[in-house]
Amino acid sequence: MKELRQQAIRLLARREHTHAELRKKLEGEGTTAEIDAVLADLAGCGLLSDERATASYLRGHGARFGAARLKQTLRAKGVDADTIAAGLENAELPGELERARAIWQRKFRTAPRDPHEWARQVRFLQSRGFSVDVIRRLLKGQDPE
């Protein structure tokens, strides 16, 4: 059990992990009861926190993705919906349109000139997790140069 705890601490020393991520990484190392005990101990000591892992993820990835993509990724990491909502609310991220504009300007720099280019830019922004409404407002506001 001590080795299991040390392994968990080594993983947490590299970056914040959610309970579900750490559980998955420790699965082959011990029994379910031992893993549960270690996770409870680490959470009790303040070393393991889904809220902190969410905040850390949003700081590192928030400016590059839309809300939908951020939520989907955090759900895949095992974070519950309330924690995700609180994390997005507390994160000091620019607005959705501003983030989409910054990403769009880095990638494309010019407004779409034809329907094929329009579709390409829309697909790119959708893959980054931006809503159709935000994408439409962004692209309709751009003048072809």
CATH class name, domain 1-48: mainly alpha
Domain covering 96-140 assigned CATH 1.10.10 in the classification = yes
Contacts of 118 (CB under 8 A, 6+ apart): 112, 139
pLDDT digits (tens, 9 = 90+) for 42-99: 999 999 999 999 999 999 999 999 999 999 999 999 999 999 999 999 988 889 999 9
Mean of per-residue pLDDT scores for the chain: 92
Task: Provide the CATH topology of domain 49-93.
Answer: Arc Repressor Mutant, subunit A (1.10.10)
Burial of 74 (0-12, 13-18, 19+ CB in 10 A): buried
The pLDDT, as a whole number, for residue 143 is 45
CA 2 and chain centroid, separation? 31
Please, where in the chain does CATH 1.10.10 lie?
1-48, 49-93, 96-140
pLDDT at 142 over 70: no
Q: Do 70 and 61 meet the contact criterion of CB atoms below 8 Å apart?
A: yes
Torsion sign over Cα 8, 10, 13, 16:
negative
Number of C-beta neighbours around residue 132 at 10 A: 10
Contacts of 134 (CB under 8 A, 6+ apart): 66, 96, 97, 100, 125
Distance between CA atoms of 132 and 22, rounded to whole angstroms? Answer: 35
Q: Do 23 and 35 meet the contact criterion of CB atoms below 8 Å apart?
A: yes
